[in-house]
Amino acid sequence: MQLFRDRSQAGQELAKALYPYRSWPNPVVLALPRGGVPVAYEVAKYLHAPLDIFLVRKLGMPGQEEYAMGAIASGGIRILDERIVRSIPDSRRVIAGIIKRETEELERREKAYRGHCPALCLQGKTVFLVDDGLATGSTMRAAIAAVRNQRPASIVVAVPVAAADTSRELRNEVDAVVCARTPEPFHAVGCWYENFPQTSDDEVRDYLKRAEPLREAV
């Protein structure tokens, strides 16, 4: 299967897959920083929808930070995989420390990215939750739970690439899941990109700045 060149090209391909959803009313595109922002920018342009960020932090396993045991999101949402948690020695103390660290980073990013710009109202909107890919889905599940608290009309998860099992499981939790590719075997999100560098804070701010005309048109 051909690789995506980068996140922007992946976003353009994902946008084409979202063609059937262009008529869904009152769209809002929420990017999961940082990697989801370049993808979501392309989706927002295609849908002519305002772009905002939705902050979620993965809770990585001790010593295996890339392997998610859960996630936290804005609004005090916390999701933990109890099966994994039970396998961690002294889990209560260890997890409390991880949650504290990731909460501080979530708050830092909130200030760094949005500044004084208020978050978009999601009530009654069609919310497109966008990331650069789905592996375990823990981060996206935290985002879904937090967004649902704001009473949107519908939630659509949209990603360029995902593990097939995760994509199928999420279909039971939202109104739709749109994924451009579900390769087997999956391995990891970064395996499906030719260029997959960390998206910087400056890049996130730049994309949000470029998307301001979409936000002002609402």
Domain boundaries, the chain: 7-55+117-216, 59-112
CA torsion sign, 29 to 31 to 36 to 38? positive
Longest CA pairwise span in the chain (Å): 52
> What architecture does CATH give domain 7-55+117-216?
3-Layer(aba) Sandwich (3.40)
pLDDT attached to residue 134? 95
**What would the pLDDT profile of 87-123 be if each residue is shown by its tens digit?**
888 878 888 898 899 999 988 888 889 877 888 899 9
**What would the pLDDT profile of 40-98 be if each residue is shown by its tens digit?**
999 999 999 999 999 988 888 787 776 778 888 877 788 888 877 788 888 788 888 98
- Sequence-ordered strand ranges (E) for 24-153: 27-31, 51-53, 56-61, 64-73, 77-80, 126-130
pLDDT attached to residue 217? 65
State pTM to two decimals.
Answer: 0.87
**28 pLDDT tier (thresholds 50, 70, 90):** very high
